[in-house]
Structure 1
Amino acid sequence: MENQITFTRAGKGEHIAVVTMNRPDKLNALTKVMEAQLRETMEAVDRDDSIRVVVLTGAGKGFCAGMDINELEVLPPDDIRGAQWMRPFDMNRRADYQTRYGYFPAMRKPVIAAINGAAAGLGLVFALYSDMRFASSSTAFSTAFARRGLIAEHGISWLLPRVVGPGHAADLLYSARKVLADEALRIGLVDRVFEPDDLLDQTLDYADDLARNVSPRSIRVMKRQMWEQPFQSLAEATRMANAEMFDSIQSEDFREGVAHFIERRQANFTGK
C-alpha cells in the first residue's frame, strides 16, 4: 500500500515525532488510505514512551487541502453516522474525543500543527484538533464547507468558536472565505507565524524545548485538564486539579523537577 503518511524522529534526543501528510502533488488532499494511515501512525506514536511531542505537517507546499474531490464523487458515500466512526475505541478515554477525526485530544502527547500551506476543510479540522498551531506566512485557511454545499463537519462548530470566538467562527463558516496568515494570527486561529523556510525549524526548536526541559507527566495531565475543561464547572475543574496535584507531588518527575533546579543541571524527566 502506498505510504501517504510518513513518520520521522527529530530533536536532540529524538523525542519528537514528525508526522507528515505525504501527497504533495495534491496539496495533501485526504484519501481513505491517508485517513487510516494517519490514525494508525498517531496512535502508534502516542503509545511510544520515547516520543514526547508530535509535530503534524504536510509535504510540499500544502498542509492539507481537505478531502480529495475524486473521493467525494464516489457514490454512495460512507455514512459518517455509522458505528465504526462514532463508537468509543478506548473506554479509558472521553468518548467526545474518539470520533472519526477527533482523536487528537485523547492522545497523551502534545500535538503541534506546523501548517506549511493551504489548510482547508478537513485540513483545518486537523489543525483545530491540535493543541497548538504554528503557520507559515504563506498559509491560507478556509473552512470550505459552505462552498461545497456541506455543513460544519466533524465537530468544527464546537471547536472553532472556542478558538476564535463565535463572531469570527460564524464568518469563517458561513463565508468559507480564504484567511491569510496575518489575519489568522490576529483572530487567534494560529498561535505563531514564521517565514516559510523557518517554519519547521522553529516548530522543532519549540518542540525540542518541551521534549527536553519539561515533565512529560505534567504535560500529559495538563493536556487532559485542558480538554476536559469544556465539560466541567469551575468547581469540577478545581477538584480535578486538587486530585492531580496530590498525585504529582508523589511522582518521580516532581522529585526530579526539584532536584535539577536545586542542583542547577539539565532535567532528566522520565514521565513517571
Structure 2
Amino acid sequence: MSEKTVILERVDGVGIIRLNRPRVYNAVNDQMGHELLQTLRQVRQDPEIRAVVLTGEGKAFCSGQDLNDRSTVREKGETFSLGESVRNRYNPIIREIAGMEKPVIAAVNGVAAGAGASMAFACDFRFIVPETRFIQAFVRIGLVPDSGSSYFLPKLVGLGRALEIAMTGRDVGAEEAVSIGLANRVIPGEQLMDETLEFAKKLAEGPTVALGLIKKAMYRGAEASLEEILEMEAEFQEQAGRTEDYLEGVRAFTEKRKPVYRGR
C-alpha cells in the first residue's frame, strides 16, 4: 500500500493538513491531488473543525506539479492534456480552499512554486518563514499561471506587480512577500507551526458562520458594485443574526465576559 501523501491532524478545533512527499518537495502527483481534494472535502464537512492550516512536510510547502509524473505518462505513449489536468486535478482543489466557509491559513515552510504557490494564494492567510520563496514557475517552462493564480495574485499585489512576477517567473522572497501583501507575517522556522496554530485556534473559537460570511463578502466586494455589496451585506447580516453565536456574543457583551462561540 502506498504511503499517504496527505495527512490530516485535528487539534482543538483546527484541522492541520500536511502535504507529505518531502523527498520531492511535496510535488503534486495523481495520488496527492486525489488525497488532498478528499481531505479538503472531509474538513469542509466536519463541524468540529472550525479553522484549517495547510502546510508541507520537510523543507518545502509545495513545489507544484510533479513533472516526473507527467513524463511517465508520455513515456508510456498515453495521451495527456494539460488543460484537462488543470480542470480535473487543480481547479477542484482551489475551489475547495477558496470556498471553504472556515478560515484557511497556509503555513508556508519553504518554497511554494507553480501550483503550490497558487494553493497558498488561495488561502485566506499566509504565514511564512525567512526561507520561503514564492515562484510563479510556469513561464520557466513555457506555460501560463493556473490553479487560480491569475485570479488571486492581482488581488493580493496589484495588476502591475502580478504581471511582473508572472512574466519573469522570478523568486519572491519572504521580506518582499510581506512588503507587497503576498504574505501576512514572517515567523522563524522553529516557531512557524506553533504561532500559526495559536492564530488558527483563536479563529476556531470565533463565530464560524460569521467568519464564513466575511470571507464570502470580501471576495464579492472586490468585484461587485456598491449597490450589490450593500444588499449583500444586509442579506449576510440577516443570516449572521439568526445564529446562536450572535445571541451568545450579545449576551457576553451585556454580561461583560468573553463569549463562548459554538460555531452555530
Task: Work out whether residues 37 and 92 of structure 2, in 8 Å CA contact, stay in contact via their aligned partners in 1.
Answer: no
- Residue 4 (structure 1) aligned with residue 25 (structure 2): no
CA distance in 1, matches of 2:142, 2:247: 55
Task: Work out whether residues 133 and 191 of structure 1, in 8 Å CA contact, stay in contact via their aligned partners in 2.
Answer: yes
CA distance in 2, matches of 1:264, 1:173: 50
- Residue 126 (structure 1) aligned with residue 119 (structure 2): yes
Residues paired across the two proteins, number: 258
How big is the shift at 1:44?
Answer: 0.3
How big is the shift at 1:231?
Answer: 3.9
Task: Work out whether residues 40 and 96 of structure 2, in 8 Å CA contact, stay in contact via their aligned partners in 1.
Answer: no
Map 1:34-183 to 2 at 5 A. Answer: 34-73=32-71, 74-75=73-74, 76-81=79-84, 85=88, 99=92, 101-183=94-176
Q: Deviations over 1:39-65 (max 9, x none)?
A: 100110110001100000000110001
Percent identity over paired residues: 36
Task: Work out whether residues 221 and 244 of structure 1, in 8 Å CA contact, stay in contact via their aligned partners in 2.
Answer: yes
Change (3 A) 1:83 1:185: closer
How big is the shift at 1:82?
Answer: 7.9
Task: Work out whether residues 105 and 227 of structure 1, in 8 Å CA contact, stay in contact via their aligned partners in 2.
Answer: no
Task: Work out whether residues 137 and 193 of structure 1, in 8 Å CA contact, stay in contact via their aligned partners in 2.
Answer: yes
Change (3 A) 1:100 1:112: closer
How big is the shift at 1:206?
Answer: 0.7
The residue aligned with 1:16 is 14
Instruction: Tell me the amino acid that sits aligned with residue 52 of structure 2.
Output: V
The residue aligned with 2:192 is 199
CA distance in 1, matches of 2:97, 2:42: 12
CA distance in 1, matches of 2:179, 2:80: 37
CA distance in 1, matches of 2:86, 2:169: 30
TM-score by length of 1: 0.89
* Greater percentage in helix: 2
How big is the shift at 1:98?
Answer: 6.3
Task: Work out whether residues 98 and 106 of structure 1, in 8 Å CA contact, stay in contact via their aligned partners in 2.
Answer: no
Q: Secondary structure at the match of 1:80?
A: helix
* Unaligned ranges ≥5, structure 2: none
Task: Work out whether residues 102 and 154 of structure 1, in 8 Å CA contact, stay in contact via their aligned partners in 2.
Answer: no
* Unaligned ranges ≥5, structure 1: 87-96
Q: Deviations over 1:4-44 (max 9, x none)?
A: 0001012xxx2000000001111101111101100100110
Q: CA RMSD in A?
A: 2.0
